[in-house]
Copies of this chain bind each other. A is one copy, B any other.
């Protein structure tokens, strides 16, 4: 946690916020902050800055916050992921949030097991918790939007063409002839398949909707490794 993310409920006045729970524990045990210390904070979907510890108890900390700094730029990316295995899902959420992905679609695919959709990590509070961890890691405040589509065909036929308006689209697919482009730095949409990949039928449907098949070389990467590799190729992350 390189920044404590503050939500509207945490504010007791314009420049006063209370920290509890995980963020309080971090303040006490990792940062070892005491009264008078300054710690990095940010307001969800707002600015970042510092918070001065005014009071500190076992149950809460009160901070005087000054928020003047803009969060880092968002990636102009719509990321469409086949729903990952629950074991990987939390990490994928955190990774996406830390990289600056703001528009994430979780879709069904033939090789997504039905049980993946039952995971409690898809509930709103758990999504928010894991996205928050990613934002706090990266020092960002802008909460990504997550959309869930449990039917492949209606998504690809009815929604995907609209999402592709004004942006280039790609589907990462090992074995295609075209390598993934570099330094696009423009609005883009990227589809990443499940373990085992999209089926040929699915790749065909994604291509019909306007996505170009691209590969990442001979290595097959896990989704949590493929996402940073692809994002880093498409966008100059060092702005």
The chain A residues found within 8 Å of chain B, CB to CB, are 2, 72, 95, 98-100, 137-140, 179-180, 182-183, 215-222, 224-225, 228-233, 236-239
Contact = CB atoms under 8 A, between A and B. Distances in A.
A219 B139 contact: yes
A222 B72 CA distance: 17
A225 B230 CA distance: 12
A238 B178 CA distance: 9
Contacts of A139: 218-220
B221 A98 contact: yes
A134 to B, nearest CB: 9
Contacts of A2: 220
B237 A216 contact: yes
Contacts of A72: 217-219
Copies in the assembly, this chain: 2
Contacts of A221: 98-99, 137-138, 228
A154 to B, nearest CB: 30
A72 B222 CA distance: 17
Contacts of A228: 221, 225, 228-229, 232
Nearest to A179: B238
A225 B180 contact: no
Contacts of A100: 219
Nearest to A233: B232
Contact of A229 (B215, B218, B232, B239): B232
12 contacts: A72-B217, A99-B225, A100-B219, A137-B220, A138-B219, A180-B238, A182-B182, A216-B237, A217-B237, A225-B228, A229-B231, A233-B237
Nearest to A219: B138
Contacts of A140: 219
Contacts of A231: 229
Contacts of A220: 2, 137-139
Contacts of A137: 220-222
Residue in A99, A137, A217, A219 with the greatest tally of chain B CB atoms within 10 Å: A219
Residue in A72, A95, A99, A238 with the greatest tally of chain B CB atoms within 10 Å: A238
Contacts of A179: 238
Given A72-B218, A220-B2, A98 B229 contact: no
A228 B216 CA distance: 12
